[in-house]
Amino acid sequence: MAKEKDLITPYNYTPESPSPCRSTEKEGQSDGQAPISSTDKQMTSDVGTGPAYSKPRRLATEEIPGIVGDFQRAARNAVEAGFDGVEIHGSHGYLLEQFMNDGTNDRDDEYGGGLDNRCRFAVEVIDAVFCEVGARRVGVTLSPFADFVECADADPVALADYMVRQLNMHEAYVTSRFWEETECILYMRCVC
């Protein structure tokens, strides 16, 4: 909520409301480029009936610090604009989850392979945002048990445990968006 204006940010309530999400389709990108990802594998529709998503462009290793900086600047801009805090979206098949899950992360650099490497990008983003606006202003959304648009992990319990342990080093609020993970949600809240 933006305090100074005492308003709630619109979320697609009307056709005139701005979308809070950037399109993952090439046609929806402001620069016309392919969406970025941990991989260059094209994913199919989440329901299996629609068209496949645009083929993403694998981020080069040297590009990743710039993307981390983009998250950091976005958090600073939100707080400077009067928002109470930010939520880092690490679920639903979006960029951070694409790096964390072994189903989509096929990298062979320091951001791929084992669990600690696959989670490195997410941890770097979270750390940068915490440093920029303070951990008490940051929420993190995770969905380690979801299988969303082919973005799943072979060992979601290990993934959840690893990320919760990383977040325990901070005072972040952790949430999960899938009802079937009640046990995981309680675990995260008890440990944090």
Closest CA to 58 of 76, 79, 33: 33
**How many CA within 13 A on the CB side of residue 99?**
27
Q: What string of DSSP letters covers 11-70?
A: -SSSTTSPPSS--SSGGGSTT-PPPEES--PPP--TTSSSPPPPPPEEPPGGGHHHHHHH
Residue 13 designated active-site: no
Structure-block tokens of residue 18 = 């701005």
**Close Cβ partners of 114 (under 8 Å, ≥ 6 residues apart):** none
Structure-block tokens of residue 165 = 């342990």
CA 47 to chain centre: 21
The span from the CA of 122 to the CA of 74, in Å, is 15
The span from the CA of 149 to the CA of 164, in Å, is 23
Among residues 11, 13, 53, 94, the one annotated as catalytic is 94
Catalytic residue ranges: 94
